[in-house]
Amino acid sequence: MGYSNLKFDKDTVFLVTGGAGFIGSNLCEAILKLGYKVKCLDNLSTGKQENVDLFISNPNYTFIKGDITNLDTCMEACKGVDYVLNQAAWGSVPRSIEMPLYYEEVNIRGTLNMMEAARQNGVKKFVYASSSSVYGDHPVLPKVEGQEGNLLSPYALTKRVDEEYGKLYYKLYGLDTYGMRYFNVFGKRQDPNGAYAAVIPKFLKQLMADEAPTINGDGKQSRDFTYVENVVEANLKACLAPHEAGGQAFNIAYGGREYLIDIYHDMCNTLGKDIEPNFGPDRAGDIKHSNADITKAKTLLGYDPDYDFKTGLQLAIEWYKENL
């Protein structure tokens, strides 16, 4: 269970791109706790300096301010690295609809730069962030790898392309690539601010300020909300996965299904709030329901998530109470 007992060579070096962001900083923290070296590459466009400052005094931590869209930066960052955990990307489906060219540059070209740099530097494993958005409009639940529908946003397209490059780099160059199809990750250090903030931290911040959040749609949409520690486990176990599991994508979730309106009421109850939400229009590019079959990740990666939704939500609320 979990990842605390995972063993790597004592001199192992990890590179976490996007390491100043939400998922990336949690990965850096976990690697440092395990006693290994970590390089963090981030341009701080969406990542936060405060997430760098948390670890900067640790001798096993190195911060590189740089951009994955620059191949030379990627090449330099990959020197002496054993495992790359590529989290650097721009998220948000609605924002990608507004900025498709930028998403292509960062999420596709940037990821390709990192794969090429990893290949040329002899990196052992290249683990990268994909997304449940690649399932598009495919109606069947739970979502199973290999059963994808029509894509609904530029963001989803960038992640699908990343997966295709992952397959090619595995087949053509022998680089072990592992795509992590994240399902609605939440937890500590997730940014609650801005128009494109994720729903859980955004709602928590508003409720704690006695404000009424706006739910897009009727609130009856469902998601497989996944606590960030489960994602950390998946990334680290992918680094130890067999070569035969490379070149593939994996659903990374808990395997549950939560309805947004129920989550909202759970938050209100936990925080002791009695606030009626507002309801707004559906968001363009969003899917109605999402729920993951995690059999493949369990079988090929040994993924065995510890944190169910309720446990994760409680931990997240405790963190936001202390840090907002």
User: Any idea which residues carry the catalytic annotation?
Assistant: 155
| Dist. CA 158–CA 214, nearest whole Å | 28
- Residue among 115, 149, 120, 111 nearest 132 (CA): 149
70 by Cβ neighbours in 10 Å (0-12 / 13-18 / 19+) ranks as: middle
| Dist. CA 262–CA 93, nearest whole Å | 23
The β-bridge partners of 279 are: 215
Q: Residue type at 234? A: A
| Dist. CA 128–CA 175, nearest whole Å | 12
DSSP string, 121-146: TT-SEEEEEEEGGGGTT---SSB-TT
Report whether 132 contacts 182 (CB < 8 A): yes
Q: Residue type at 322? A: E
Please give the C-alpha separations between residue 78 and each of 84, 117, 161, in angstroms, as whole numbers.
8, 6, 22
- Residue among 171, 47, 52 nearest 38 (CA): 52
| Dist. CA 158–CA 94, nearest whole Å | 14
The answer for residues whose C-beta is within 8 angstroms of residue 86's C-beta and 6 or more apart is 17, 18, 68, 111, 114, 126, 127, 128, 129
Tokens of 274: 């009695």
| Dist. CA 153–CA 1, nearest whole Å | 35
